[in-house]
Structure 1
């Protein structure tokens, strides 16, 4: 009689594989993941079925970590303006905590590995619209979510291509100033409208 799968071992292996992939990129072969987990390629296949199934699981685990981390960063905080929240989130996303995710998912977008997650580009965009809409609702401008996301994605591409942190950080601060002005204009016109009634 064969061994029964052990979910706790599979979870531990998956976490170790995700740690390795975030630190070093998604490997072409199973051996680096086997070494990182202290097991064999054969045991990884036993737990995950195929190489592609393992890599999909690794991508999914890394993506969930990114959503949890950055989703929390984008959450509204009652004691600060949402533009300050966005500035802090930008600093974390582009800093050491965010770099592993940017590398991994940038690699996924650019390589043949996107066959592992065919709708990744769409998912990687739409995942962030909800949290941004919710945050921007706190300043009366949920309609700016697509614009804010487009600016973030564009500046991340710029930063990846040029490495010019100072310029892209300044561009994002300038953009947040424009968002504050739009929010202020929206509040002002709302006040005028309500006082005119």
Structure 2
């Protein structure tokens, strides 16, 4: 009879996998070197996560920001601004700051290797856009306007994250984030 995977061990291993991917990236990902670096075996990675694609999918799911948690109770433009800035702070200072590098790499790889990374990128974008679009609608914006404004927040913050990672100019990029968020949440 096959042994049942230990959920606690799986959770610990998943956190280690996420940390490894945040540090080393996903381009040219090979399970054997990862397993060695994590003090386990390729066989154990496959046992807990399935194949390489499944492991990557689970790591991406575990590492992405929970926009639904941040935007769940939003019902006004002021709440939208506060929630958008909370997201910005989570991405640049909080728990999500390390996973931003991983997300940006996957999104970039999706443009040149859509067969392997396109679905990850689409899912990552949708999981951010959907709750933010819903929050804009809950705050009184029409459906089409809500979707455009949510796209501005998601894509704008993502681009500013990349700028911050490259330039390190926190003051300039923080000011740009505030300006972009203000523009996105201000009714016409």
> Max radius of gyration: which structure?
1
Larger RCO: 1 or 2 (CA < 8 Å, sep 6+):
2
TM exceeding 0.5: yes
- Where does structure 1 lack aligned partners over 5 or more consecutive residues? 186-197
Aligned twin of 1:57? 58
Q: How much has 1:103 moved relative to structure 2? A: 0.7
Aligned twin of 1:167? 172
Cα distance, 1:175–1:107 mapped onto 2, change above 3 Å: closer
- Where does structure 2 lack aligned partners over 5 or more consecutive residues? none
* SS, match of residue 44 in structure 2: helix
Write the distance in 2 (CA, Å) between the matches of 1:138 and 1:48. 38
Deviates more, 1:123-132 or 1:152-161: 152-161
Paired residues of 1:10 and 1:47 also in contact (CA < 8 A) = yes
Q: How much has 1:83 moved relative to structure 2? A: 1.0
Q: How much has 1:94 moved relative to structure 2? A: 1.8
Deviates more, 1:15-24 or 1:124-133: 15-24
Paired residues of 2:21 and 2:102 also in contact (CA < 8 A) = yes
* SS, match of residue 58 in structure 2: helix
* SS, match of residue 59 in structure 2: helix
Alignment of 1:1-197 (within 5 A): 3-6=2-5, 8=7, 9-26=9-26, 28-35=29-36, 37-62=38-63, 66-68=64-66, 70-76=67-73, 81-111=79-109, 115-141=115-141, 143=146, 144-179=149-184, 182-183=186-187
Q: How much has 1:123 moved relative to structure 2? A: 2.3
Write the distance in 2 (CA, Å) between the matches of 1:134 and 1:107. 27
Write the distance in 2 (CA, Å) between the matches of 1:108 and 1:23. 13
Cα distance, 1:13–1:178 mapped onto 2, change above 3 Å: closer
TM-score (norm 2): 0.71
Q: How much has 1:17 moved relative to structure 2? A: 1.9
Paired residues of 2:74 and 2:139 also in contact (CA < 8 A) = no
Q: How much has 1:169 moved relative to structure 2? A: 1.3
Write the distance in 1 (CA, Å) between the matches of 2:53 and 2:129. 29
Paired residues of 1:132 and 1:145 also in contact (CA < 8 A) = yes
